[in-house]
Amino acid sequence: MYNDKELNGRIDSGIFGSYLWMGIGLLITFGIMYASIYNLQLVQISFTLNRFSILLILAIAIGMRFIIVKANAFVLKLVFIGYSAFLGILLIPIMFAYETASIMTLFGASSAMFIGMSAYGYFTGSNLQGYSKYLFGGILGIIVMTLLNNYLFRNNALDIAISIIGLLIFIIYTAVDTQRIKTMLLEAYYEGETELVEKVKIFGALMLYLDFINMFLYLLSLFGKRRN
């Protein structure tokens, strides 16, 4: 059993591990997006996959839920790397739809928001986990409204409203997920399972990665400057 100081140190180390893997995921994703400027084959693959993007994302989300429960930490790392690469390919059209300066500026804005909300989630004494069910419900609502707007309404004002709500949801989710990782690591260390600690690091990295990516995409939708 660890004393309080040692336990806090291990939790900090675990959270740092999640941030490190999140950073690796973002580096892979945005590295592939940038590489597409010089690789026509990547662009062709991206436009082919985007025809089935909704089905692919749903299938991967369901598959990863199963893998996270059943797989060991090493497999989870491979899956996370593969998912980061896949999303990088899927998001390639962004590089051709928006100006590079705009992408970089909003990436920086996303980073600032992420750091601020993650710090709040880590240091706050309030229990944020009660918000999870409402946030998840909000995501389901956004998915439904996005599908209806894309294929039925085609309303620009509704699209803006969806982006604003989506941005707010993932800003809050960043704090909630940071606190959740902290709690999961605490439970894993109390159980004394090293493998579980490693799995929590990767699962935490995935949550934070998705929070950041969605925050960035909604900011881009709202404020991104498109190419002429």
d(C-alpha 108, C-alpha 110), whole Å: 5
* Entry pTM: 0.93
- Return mean pLDDT, the chain: 89
Question: Residue 76 carries which side chain, given as an amino acid letter?
Answer: L
Contacts of 49 (CB under 8 A, 6+ apart): 56, 89, 90
Q: What is the pLDDT of residues 76-101, one digit of tens each?
A: 899 899 989 999 999 999 999 999 99
* Structure tokens that stand for 49 in this block: 């996959």
**pLDDT under 70: residue ranges of the chain:** 1-4, 52, 54-59, 61-62, 64-66, 68-69
DSSP code per residue over 116-135? HHHHHHHH--S--GGGHHHH
**Chain segment 44-79, per-residue pLDDT in tens:** 999 888 776 766 666 676 676 667 667 888 988 998
Euclidean distance between CA atoms 109 and 217, whole angstroms = 11
**pLDDT attached to residue 79:** 87
Spell out the domain ranges in the chain. Answer: 4-223
Other residues' Cβ atoms within 10 Å of the Cβ of residue 195:
11
